[in-house]
Chains A and B, each alone.
Chain A
Amino acid sequence: GQNIDQPTEMTATEGAIVQINCTYQTSGFNGLFWYQQHAGEAPTFLSYNVLDGLEEKGRFSSFLSRSKGYSYLLLKELQMKDSASYLCAVRDSGGYQKVTFGTGTKLQVIP
């Protein structure tokens, strides 16, 4: 099985940088995803990590350490529209590669 932990809520200031952490415990690991979800809307894909290190995509970066069971999502130059929930999801290495989601981190960006 899998256990995924991420903070429930965070607040950050417009223009700043925020780091959202995710820790996981899994019996078999085959990748970690980050999704963004605005209230009442569908989750949308942000990033994918399967090897250790940093993946950068514009203002968003995601880091993975498999040995520590740890990932973070880094958001730079925060904008008001970045106010959303950020979901960490882990894919396991089993037959159908199940994806398990964390409960999400609700980020509020304030002026």
Chain B
Amino acid sequence: EAQVTQNPRYLITVTGKKLTVTCSQNMNHEYMSWYRQDPGLGLRQIYYSMNVEVTDKGDVPEGYKVSRKEKRNFPLILESPSPNQTSLYFCASRPTGISNSPLHFGNGTRLTVT
């Protein structure tokens, strides 16, 4: 089944404790992206990647890191989480070169930082 898989689904952590949210897709998509979703603010892009070893900042990159060593994986790293990073996070992917291709989203990771 074609899908984007995020783990974990729920995570509660404390301020300053490094964490990684994994994202993997099995559709051979070149483009991958991370979003956070907060009430009243909608989906905001954190980082994106056009292909392996090519990543760039989105609209809200502060406090986050990403890597794209393999085409299928795009982990999101919070080196020192803070309470303002409490949010619902989505990973998404799509093929490039097809103009009408929608984003395929993972099931989300609900992060709480205390």
Contact = CB atoms under 8 A, between A and B. Distances in A.
Contacts of A40: 88, 108, 110
Interface residues of B, number: 23
Contact of A43 (B43, B48, B100, B110): B43
Given A31-B99, A50-B100, A96-B48, A43 B105 contact: yes
Contacts of B99: 30-31, 50, 97
Contacts, number: 49
Residue of B35, B44, B102, B106 with highest tally of chain A CB at under 10 A:
B102
Contacts of A96: 31, 48, 50, 56
A99 interface: yes
A43 B90 contact: yes
- Listed from nearest, the 9 A-B pairs whose CB atoms lie closest are A45-B102, A103-B42, A42-B105, A101-B43, A48-B100, A101-B42, A42-B107, A43-B105, A96-B50
Interface of B: 31, 35, 40-45, 48, 50, 56, 88, 90, 99-100, 102-108, 110
Interface of A: 30-31, 33, 35, 40-45, 48, 50, 87, 96-104
Given A30-B99, A48-B102, 17 more contacts: A31-B99, A31-B100, A41-B108, A42-B90, A42-B107, A43-B43, A43-B90, A43-B103, A45-B102, A87-B42, A87-B43, A99-B103, A100-B45, A101-B43, A101-B44, A102-B42, A103-B40
8 contacts: A42-B90, A42-B107, A45-B102, A48-B102, A87-B42, A96-B31, A96-B56, A101-B35
